[in-house]
Every structure is written in structure tokens, then in C-alpha cells.
Amino acid sequence: MNPRPPTRILLVHPGVSDSPLALPYAPWGALSLAQALRGNGHEVTVLDLVGQDARKSIREAVEDLVPDVVGFTGKMGVAARRMREMIDELRAVRPMTRIAVGGPLVSAFPDSSLALWKGVDAIFLGEAEASFARWVDEGCDRSGVVEAEEFDLDAVGVPWQWDQLATYVMPAGLAPGFTVPTLHMSGARGCTRRCSFCYLATHLPRGGFNPISAQRLLSDLGGIAEATGARGFCFTDDCLVDASRTGIDALNAGLIGAGTPYELGCSIQLSLLGDSALLRRMYDAGFRYLYVGAESASAAVRKRLGKDDAGNRAAELLHGATNLGYFVQCSVGLGWPGETEAEANTTLELVENVNDVLFDTFRFLPLPGTPVFSQLVDRGELHVAKVQLPFMDFGDNDLNLTSMDDDTLNHAWEQLLRLRDERYFALSPQEIAAHATAGCATQVAGPR
Ligand code: B12
Ligand code: SF4
């Protein structure tokens, strides 16, 4: 038991957008920390300030709650800029408040002397339920970089005990592939694979995989359904279907045993679409939506990225899943290191020829902390100023790391956007409305 008096903690998700329309993904990281901290007797408030005026909203929040500690979730791009504005405002109005930041932005920029962390007392690497709780219990005195510690996720599960959660449930029919009110969430941390461009491996202690058990997940889905009315659940993790399949097998069995009470969706690896027994079993358990981070249809590009060897069969695999009754969404990118025109064309052909799948598109930007990023820097092929990088949004940049000249790459990119938009506008008005509303929550349109 913590011997100190309870600490008043405000956890803030600054939001990935200046628009309130980007609401539909709950601040799960902050909610998970809050559950762990409450277990130690602290008073915790979680606020998602997405779309609100950054300076005004944080000023009002601290005037209202008077916290001892404010913790921010750090993410890249617009989210990083919003976080900076909030920290500057907070330092101006309440200079004595302890400020902590965690989240993917810290794992990508783990140097506490960077201007990015000016005014911040401590930055937390990776999963922070255990390390942040310890920091608070010890009086919030430690400064600088705080390492992650192992934590059994079943201790908090899916942290749904939050009075705002129902506002993140999409009404029936609005989330692509779902016919019931649907909530997007995370059921695991990290990944069992090791793609060379992916940031996730740097985010977990020792680069691991940390799932919530199927038993705990099932119990939390029941709690969420009762509390919010959600009957659809979409898992955004790349690894709900992990390499060992232990978790998904147990989840399927539990769902079928419970009479298949929900519609479900998840991300899945391209090659796994070839396992029709797995897909049928998932369908029987209630899965209806699959998100495939294909990245490229070129087998050679995929090999360089450490992906599986399914590139040549991408069209066949995607069709296979839609034929089984799934709504399939697939993300592809251009601009991969060393990518040739022929390799880019393979991806364009996939998008042109596969008509029953919705495609997300992005233009690759390497993530700090990944093998690809280090290789490019070592070879002198990447010269992005480190101070700017945290504030850049992935997916839309003019970096050229390919073997193509700028005109060829730009032309390929325009073609990809045209193909994507043609598909998009071929949808019915209802489907467009659904996709536009659901867009930012159903996809991680970028390097994952
Ligand atoms: C859902 C999701 C989205 C959704 C919703 C995002 C939103 N509204 O915040 C959408 C689709 C909008 C999205 C967009 C993007 N995303 Co995204 N997304 C995810 C995903 C799949 C799940 C996030 C999640 O809920 N995790 C589970 C929660 C519980 O974990 P967590 O938030 O990390 O929290 C833990 C720690 O980070 C830490 N922590 C968090 N907050 C705090 C606060 C304090 C004070 C402390 C101490 C600790 C702490 O402790 C928490 C508990 O352990 C992750 C991958 C992943 N599995 O994490 C990628 C991920 C976060 N996204 C990523 C990227 C690249 C993007 C995009 C940039 C892609 C693009 N092309 O534009 C955009 C931009 C948005 C942005 N600025 O972040 C990268 C982040 C890379 C980076 N270094 O920042 C990730 C890690 C994917 C990857 N493998 O690379 N994303
Ligand atoms: S890109 Fe996806 S599959 Fe590859 S390591 Fe990252 S999360 Fe795992």
C-alpha cells in the first residue's frame, strides 16, 4: 500500500487533430494508466482534448482540477504540436505542477535534453502502467528518462471504466463492416513480428508482445457492452492474431461458447488470409471486418521490409477473405526505400484490380528508432532535421528515398490517390458518409 497521501493526477490526450470530428478513438493509453494509478489509491482524471483549443482547454482543466501532476500522451505530428502548446501554457499558468509525458513520441525521441521536452520533468518509455505508478508513489521527484517495467495487462484489462466512453461508440452502420454500435480498442501491446520499418518493437521493454488474456477480454467486452451499448468491437492491434495464435484461438472459443454475442473486427497479416480454416472459425465467432496492413504488393519490397512472402498472392488473398463474407480494408504505401517504378506499379495494379476491398494509402516516412531509419541515416540518405521530425505527419510528405526520380514517384503517388478516390466515390452515399465518419478510427493509414 502506498504510504503517501493520494496524488491528484490529470492525464491528458492532446488529440491527433485540431478538429473535434476526429473523436472516435478513446485515449486508451491514458485510461490504462488511470486504472493502474487508482489501484494505488490516487485521484485520477482523464481528459481527451482532441479538437479543442489547446491552450484554453488545458488552462481551464488545471484551473478546475488543480492537479499535482499532469501527464500527457505524446504522439507525432499535429498531436506533438498540440502537446507542446499545452505544456507551454501549463508552465506559464502553474509553474510548480509536475509534468510527465509518455507514449509513442517518447519512444521515438527518448532524449530528455531535446527542445521537444522543454519544461517536462520526466519522459516515460514504452508501457508505463508500472513505471508511472512507481514514479508517482515515490513522490514524482525523479527527472529525465524513465525506463518501462514489465506489467501484467490482465491487472487492468481493457480500461473501460470512464464516464466518457459511450461517446466513442459509433452508431449502428457507421463503422465499415459493422451493423451494430461499435467501439474501436486495443487488446494487446506490441507484436510478435519484426518488420524493419515498424516502430512498435522499440516501444515495449525488450521489444516484446504483451496481450490481454482472452478470458479478461471477454469479461471486459461484457462490461463495455453493458455500460455503453456497444455490440461491435474493432481491435486496432496488428497482433490480435499473433504468430502463435494462442490468443485468437481462446478468444474464438470463448465467443462461440457465449453464443457469439458481438460483431468483431481486427487487423491481420496478409499471409494469414490464406488460412481459410482460421478465417472461417473467426467468422463463426463473430468477426466480420479485417484490416490488412499490406504496405506494398511487391514481394521484393515486402521482403526488404521484413514482411511475409504473400505479396505475389495479395489479390487472391484479399478476394478470398471477401468471398468468406468479410469486409476488408487494406493499407498500401508508396515511397519505400529503394522502391523501383516496377515495384510501385505492382501496388498500383493491386489497387486497380481488386474491387471488393477499400484501400487506405500513405506515402512512407521512416520512423525514428526503427532499423530502416537507422540504415538510411547511416547511409547518409536521410537528412530530416530531428527537431522537425516529431511534428511531421506521416502519410503525406515529399521525401524521396526510392530509386525513382521525383517526377516518377509523384506521378505514381497521384495515380494511387486517384485509384483510391475512384473506389471511394463509387460507394453509395450512405457508404461514403459511413466511411468519412469512421475514417480516422478504423484505419492506421500509415506505416505500422
Ligand atoms: C489506434 C491507432 C491510431 C488511430 C487513433 C489514434 C488516436 N486517436 O490517438 C489513428 C488511426 C487515428 C492513428 C493515426 C496515426 N497513427 Co496510430 N496507432 C494506433 C494504434 C494501432 C493503437 C493505439 C493504442 O490505443 N494503443 C494501446 C494503448 C493502451 O497504448 P498507448 O497509447 O501506447 O499507451 C501506453 C504507452 O504509450 C504509455 N503512455 C501513453 N500515454 C501516456 C501518458 C503518460 C503521462 C505516460 C507516463 C505514459 C503514457 O503508457 C500507456 C500504457 O502502457 C497504435 C499501435 C499500437 N498498438 O499502439 C498506432 C500508432 C500509435 N500509430 C502510429 C502512427 C505512425 C500513426 C500515424 C502517424 C499514421 C499516419 N499515417 O498518419 C497517424 C497519426 C496520428 C498521431 N499523431 O498519432 C505509430 C506511432 C509512431 C510514433 N512514433 O508516434 C503507432 C505506434 C503504430 C506503429 N506501429 O508504428 N493511429
Ligand atoms: S508492421 Fe505490423 S506486423 Fe509488422 S512488426 Fe509492426 S505491428 Fe507487427
In the chain, the percentage of residues whose pLDDT exceeds 70 is 90
For the CA of 189, the nearest atom of ligand 1: 57
The answer regarding whether domain 8-151 maps to CATH 3.90.650.10 reads no
CA of 75 to the centre of ligand 1 (A): 7
Reported confidence tier of residue 26, pLDDT bands at 50, 70, 90: very high
Q: What is the helix (H) or strand (E) element at residue 65, kind and residue range?
A: helix 54-65
Residues of 304-337 as b/e, b for ≥16 C-beta within 10 angstroms? bbebeebbebbeebbbbbbebebbbbbbbbbbbb
CA–CA separation, 245 vs 242, rounded Å?
5
What pLDDT is stored for residue 388 in this prediction? Answer: 74
What pLDDT is stored for residue 395 in this prediction? Answer: 63
CA–CA separation, 337 vs 185, rounded Å?
31
Residues of 106-127 as b/e, b for ≥16 C-beta within 10 angstroms? bbbbbebeeebbeebbbbbbbb
Place of cell 491514458: 30
Residue 111 has which C-alpha cell? 532524449
What pLDDT is stored for residue 23 in this prediction? Answer: 57
What are the residue ranges spanned by the domains of the chain? 8-151, 163-442
Atom 85 (ligand 1) nearest CA:
448
Q: Which residues pair with 144 in a beta bridge?
A: 122
CA–CA separation, 411 vs 256, rounded Å?
48
pTM: 0.93
What pLDDT is stored for residue 176 in this prediction? Answer: 83
Which amino acid, one-letter code, is at 113? S
Contact 191, 201 (CB under 8 A): yes
Q: Give the pLDDT confidence of 127-185 residue by residue, as tens digits.
A: 999 999 999 999 999 999 999 998 999 999 999 999 999 999 999 988 888 999 999 99
In this predicted structure, the answer to whether residue 446 has a pLDDT above a threshold of 50 is: no
What pLDDT is stored for residue 386 in this prediction? Answer: 67
3-class secondary-structure state, position 235: strand
Atom 7 (ligand 2) nearest CA:
238
- Report the mean per-residue pLDDT for the chain: 89
**Strand 188-190 with 209-211, pairing:** antiparallel
Q: DSSP per residue over 268-337, as a string? A: E-GGGGG-HHHHHHHHHHTEEEEEEEEE-S-HHHHHHTT--S-GGGHHHHHHHHHHTT-EEEEEEEE--T
Q: Give the pLDDT confidence of 285-321 residue by residue, as tens digits.
A: 999 999 999 999 999 999 999 998 898 899 999 999 9
Domain 163-442: which topology?
pyruvate-formate lyase- activating enzyme (3.80.30)
Q: For residues 219-225, give the mean pLDDT.
A: 98
CA of 448 to the centre of ligand 1 (A): 10
Atom 56 (ligand 1) nearest CA:
237
Q: Tell me the ligand closest to 14's alpha carbon.
A: 1
Q: DSSP per residue over 30-44, as a string? A: HHHHHHHHHHTT-EE
> Which of 75, 109, 162 should be mutated for ligand 1, with most atoms under 8 A from CB?
75
Residue 181 has which C-alpha cell? 454500435
Q: Tell me the ligand closest to 440's alpha carbon.
A: 1
CA of 76 to the centre of ligand 1 (A): 9
What pLDDT is stored for residue 444 in this prediction? Answer: 32
CA of 57 to the centre of ligand 1 (A): 22
Reported confidence tier of residue 440, pLDDT bands at 50, 70, 90: very low
In this predicted structure, the answer to whether residue 46 has a pLDDT above a threshold of 80 is: yes
CA–CA separation, 342 vs 335, rounded Å?
12
Atom 1 (ligand 2) nearest CA:
448
CA–CA separation, 20 vs 272, rounded Å?
36
Contact 197, 191 (CB under 8 A): no
**DSSP conformation class of 443:** -
Q: For residues 17-45, give the mean pLDDT.
A: 90
> Which of 195, 241, 332 should be mutated for ligand 2, with most atoms under 8 A from CB?
195
Q: Give the pLDDT confidence of 242-278 residue by residue, as tens digits.
A: 888 889 999 999 999 999 999 999 999 999 999 999 9
3-class secondary-structure state, position 171: coil
In the chain, the percentage of residues whose pLDDT exceeds 90 is 71
CA of 259 to the centre of ligand 2 (A): 32
CA–CA separation, 225 vs 50, rounded Å?
24
The CA–CA distances, whole Å, from 353 to 141, 311, 328 equal 58, 14, 15
CA–CA separation, 388 vs 133, rounded Å?
31
Q: Tell me the ligand closest to 99's alpha carbon.
A: 1
Ranges 54-58, 195-199, 275-279: which has the least confidence: 195-199
> Which of 198, 204, 444 should be mutated for ligand 1, with most atoms under 8 A from CB?
444
Give the up-direction half-sphere exposure of residue 41: CA atoms within 13 A in the CB hemisphere: 8
